């Protein structure tokens, strides 16, 4: 494994996005009322019971991170012990013991909103991260960061970073209102690769199929490229037959099967096993369009085992199926905050991670 004995903090690029995006509570002017801790919880029995894993050891003692909102979580595909917590206001946190304890990044990611990171797939001490205005790079495992790009147009914001796993010198950045930037030299220089002319959210590679990329928009559905981003096809015609199917919540590429992708929208959960050519809906207890699904995960060793969280207003419930959606069980969540991230452990599928966020003010 690259750098495992020399790194202070390094990871390999994750092929799974474990939750990120907008959390909406409608147009109500009333402040949402929630209770309980934010941060991360761990279940070792498929969601039957939970324990908090939000601790930050410091020279002054162990600090609780239970008040820190989760934006998203990245995992190291080569080392399941390595996890990266992108927060909404406390910067970048990372763990090398499966979340039992966390560390804080050095500046500039020791505070503030971290939108995205991207990790070099062959040098897991080289990491890129963005705060929405700038892109920074570390080559020494988060000991230091150097700026490689600054967005000078105030109407644009950097929302997502990605590296082509098959051509690691290719770095991508998504900017709203819909611009895809591309660097062919690891971030030293940039060019506009495509303009989608709509609000864009996430871009994910299929690690089992060369050139296959998905790009999620906020409300215009899903785009797909089969040639590493040279050309794009809008899949909205296939998704809009499902009411609310164009409104993004989450996207998940199945790690052990090329072309298998899950699209979580306002409608519910759709999946395709042929790269988005055809879609089917996962049968769920909650009626289509009746709930917001922010937490979603699939067992990487058994795709019939799925989990999701249902949020109506600020009330949320946990759901689990082991038969592909034929039957579901429901459980109470360990916090009354908003569940936004879910992860199944890649080698121990009975372990489930769940991250919570405080409602945006």
- HEC letters along the chain: CCCCCCCCCCCCCCCCCCCCCCCCECECCCCCCCCCCCEEEEECCCCCCCEECCEEEECCEEEECCCCCEEEEEECCCCCCCEEEEECCECEEEECCCCCCCEECCCCCCCECCCEEEECCCCCCCEEEECCCEEEEECCCCCCCEEEEECCCCCCEEEEEEECCCCCCCEEEEEECCEEEEECCCCCCCEEEEECCCCEEEEEECCCCCCCEEEEECCCCEEEECCCCCCCEECHHHHCCCCCCCCEEEEEECCCCCCCEEEEECCCEEEECCCCCCCEECCCCCCCCCCEEEEEEEECCEEEEEEEEEEECCEEEEEEECCCCCCCEEECCCCCCEEEEEEECCCCCCCEEEEEECCCC
Contacting residues for 58 by C-beta, under 8 A, at least 6 apart: none
Per-residue pLDDT at 215: 98
| Ordered structural domains, the chain, with CATH | 39-357 (2.130.10.10)
Per-residue pLDDT at 18: 61
Query: In this predicted model, what pLDDT tens digit does every residue of 96-150 receive, in sequence order?
Result: 899 999 999 999 999 999 999 998 888 888 999 999 999 999 999 899 999 999 9
Per-residue pLDDT at 146: 98
Q: What is the CA 220 to chain-centroid distance, rounded?
A: 19
Per-residue pLDDT at 20: 62
**Ranges of the chain with pLDDT below 50:** 1-17, 25-28
Q: Beta strand pairing status for 213-217 and 200-205?
A: antiparallel
Per-residue pLDDT at 5: 31
Query: In this predicted model, what pLDDT tens digit does every residue of 224-260 receive, in sequence order?
Result: 999 999 999 999 999 999 999 999 999 999 999 999 9
Per-residue pLDDT at 78: 72
């Amino acid at each position: 494994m690259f750098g495992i004995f020399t790194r202070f903090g390094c990871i390999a690029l994750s092929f799974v996005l474990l939750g990120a995006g907008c959390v909406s509570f409608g147009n109500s002017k009333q402040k949402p009322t929630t209770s309980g801790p934010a941060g991360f919880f761990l279940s070792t029995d498929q969601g039957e019971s939970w324990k908090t894993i939000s601790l930050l050891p410091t020279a002054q003692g162990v600090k609780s991170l239970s008040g820190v909102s989760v934006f998203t979580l990245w995992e190291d595909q080569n080392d399941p012990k390595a996890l990266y917590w992108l927060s909404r206001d406390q910067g970048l946190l990372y763990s090398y013991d499966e979340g039992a304890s966390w560390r804080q990044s050095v500046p500039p990611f020791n505070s503030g909103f971290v939108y995205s990171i991207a990790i070099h797939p062959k040098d897991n001490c080289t990491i890129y991260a963005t705060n929405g205005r700038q892109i920074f790079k570390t080559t020494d495992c988060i000991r230091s960061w150097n700026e490689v790009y600054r967005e000078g147009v105030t109407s644009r914001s950097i929302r997502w970073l990605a590296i082509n796993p098959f051509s690691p010198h290719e770095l991508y950045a998504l900017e709203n209102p819909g611009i895809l930037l591309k660097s062919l030299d690891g971030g030293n220089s940039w060019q506009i690769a495509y303009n989608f002319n709509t609000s864009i959210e996430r871009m994910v590679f299929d690690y089992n199929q060369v050139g296959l990329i998905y790009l999620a928009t906020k409300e215009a559905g899903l785009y797909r490229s089969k040639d590493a981003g040279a050309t794009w096809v809008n899949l909205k015609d296939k998704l809009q037959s499902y009411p609310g199917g164009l409104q993004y919540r989450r996207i998940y590429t199945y790690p052990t099967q090329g072309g298998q992708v899950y699209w979580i929208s306002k409608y519910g959960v759709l999946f395709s096993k042929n790269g988005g050519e055809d879609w089917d809906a996962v049968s769920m207890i909650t009626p289509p369009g009746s709930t917001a699904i922010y937490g979603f995960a699939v067992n990487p060793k058994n795709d019939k085992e799925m989990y999701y969280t249902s949020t109506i207003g600020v009330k949320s419930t946990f759901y689990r199926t082991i038969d592909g959606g034929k039957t579901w069980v429901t459980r109470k969540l360990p916090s009354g905050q908003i569940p936004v991230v879910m992860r199944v452990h890649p080698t121990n599928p009975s372990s489930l991670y769940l991250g919570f966020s405080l409602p945006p003010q």
